[in-house]
Amino acid sequence: MKDEVRQEFDPRQASTPLLDRLKTCAQRSSVAFHTPGHKRGQGISANLRDWLGQAVFQADLPELPELDNLFAPKGVIQQAQVLAAAAFGAEQTWFLANGSTCGIEAAVLATCQPGDKIVLPRNVHQSAIAALILSGAIPIYVQPDYDAEWDVAHGVSPTTIKTAIAQHPDAKAVLIVSPTYYGVTSPVQEIAEIVHQHDIPLLVDEAHGAHFAFHPDLPPSALSQGADLAVQSIHKTLSALTQAAMLHVQGDRIDRDRLTRCLSLVQSTSPNYLLLASLDAARQQMAIQGQPLMEQALSLSNRVRQELEQISGLLVLADRSDLLPGFAALDWTRITIDVIRLGLTGFAADEILHETFGVTAELPGLRHLTFILTFGNTNADIDRLVSAFRVLSTLKPQPQLESHCLSSSSFLLPPFSLPPLTPRQAFFSAAVTLPIAHAIDRISAELVCPYPPGIPVLLPGEVITTEAIEYLQQVLAAGGVVAGCTDSTLETLRIVNG
């Protein structure tokens, strides 16, 4: 059914109402006595103007009457959002100028009151933790399926969600991440059926899956599988500018008026119209050319997989749905490569690839590198990537990970457990800073995570374990970056004082 719908072209999708109106306003001769202060580029730094040109600054405009208002759209923004909803398979779509982060925050705020429970996997993005702090919701953490062979947390199984709701029948919402950073989707349709039996909404962090609706060989989109709300980073896998995202809703389990109010709390009151217009343009591009563009990306992915698999010492993540119930499907445009057999950590391999070969991964980890392929890549890009790995495989460096290397599952909580304090309680509690050795078994007052992907190892309100500290120290020693904490060297931690 999804394929048939996508093939029925709506001629209205050829239009770009917001982009066209912004272009008209930018080209109009007028005197600006409004923000921004550079006055349509007249006062911009010469260095910046010489690099980017004048046109982009002429289009950097505020909420002029002709450009509509993001928080009460009645004109071109509303028209653009209606077209986006149709293209992505939603009943209603909101444009986001603060990335998927604000969409996740608004989704939780719109479905949970302070003290309400929400079921969510422990490997959520830190934006979900921010949402818990803002909303005061109580997290019921569930375990994603752990893949020991790859040392990767994948999706969440329907049985896990069913058990969590059975143990916490008063939960007000379920939030899952699908796809993960590695391109693995959860069985969203089965999870939606379970969640809807309790008449609560299913929220999906689909930040990395904006392209799913546009090719039958990609995993089905969350909306097509029954999700009530999906948040997508249109900039991650499509052609919008960085920080441009969308929030999609269907059905009646989400209070849309409340959602609109919540979005106004977490978005800038001065949204960048270049970002919003890029969403309009990206939607038109996919509505008209989506399938051939994704065919191009899948063709590149197929080629790079075949060539990388021929290089000794490399493993490329493939479909493992027959082994793990939380692994429903794999986005084939996401390439995850295990480099440990080359005697390298993912961080070390990333540094060599970036500095020596000019090949830059999306996500380095302790033993993997993940690359995102889109229709913006070319065969020349693939040539360079494969060539770099061929050279890398011949370097024969000394092993950089000990045989007793901790797995990324070492910091995960027992399933369905409640933390000693909610993230909000911990965040607003009095805190003290202690040397790392003295913080063990105390309650964390801060969020600590390797970034990217922004999946926290320590959360506000959780007990700090030896395993979590050792894992973070291992990441730092291997060349990774730990973010979110006050002391990025990890010599000290802030803990709840009490």
Encode pLDDT of 217-228 as tens digits: 999 999 999 999
- The radius of gyration computed from the CA coordinates of the chain, to the nearest angstrom, equals 23
CA nearest 23: which of 271, 277, 253? 277
To which H or E segment does residue 46 belong?
helix 46-52
What value does the mean pLDDT of the chain take? 92
Q: Which domains does the chain have, with CATH numbers?
A: 2-288 (3.40.640.10), 291-392 (3.90.1150.10), 423-496 (3.90.100.10)
CA dist., res. 267 & res. 252, Å (int): 24
Q: Which two tokens stand for residue 432?
A: 């003290």
CB atoms within 10 A of CB 426: 24
The predicted pLDDT at position 452 comes to: 54
Whole-model pTM: value is 0.94
CA dist., res. 327 & res. 150, Å (int): 13
CA nearest 147: which of 158, 157, 139, 137? 157
CA nearest 178: which of 199, 148, 206? 206
Assess whether pLDDT exceeds 70 at residue 18.
Answer: yes
CB–CB of 226/216 below 8 Å? no
Encode pLDDT of 239-265 as tens digits: 999 999 999 999 999 999 999 999 999
Assess whether pLDDT exceeds 50 at residue 2.
Answer: no
CA dist., res. 241 & res. 68, Å (int): 20
Please give the average per-residue pLDDT across 266-279, as a whole number.
Answer: 97
DSSP three-state, residue 123: coil
Q: Which two tokens stand for residue 450?
A: 């390797």
Assess whether pLDDT exceeds 50 at residue 1.
Answer: no
CA dist., res. 160 & res. 175, Å (int): 13
User: What DSSP line would sit under 57-91, residue for residue?
Assistant: HHT-----GGG--TTS--SHHHHHHHHHHHHHT-S
Encode pLDDT of 108-160 as tens digits: 999 999 999 999 998 888 899 999 999 999 999 998 998 888 988 899 999 99
Share of the chain above pLDDT 90, in %: 81
CA nearest 334: which of 182, 163, 179, 122? 182
Encode pLDDT of 390-441 as tens digits: 999 998 665 555 434 445 554 555 555 678 899 999 999 999 999 999 999 9
Q: Is 313 left (phi over 0), alpha (psi -120 to 50) or beta?
A: left
Do the strands 368-372 and 363-364 form a parallel or antiparallel pair, or are they unpaired? antiparallel
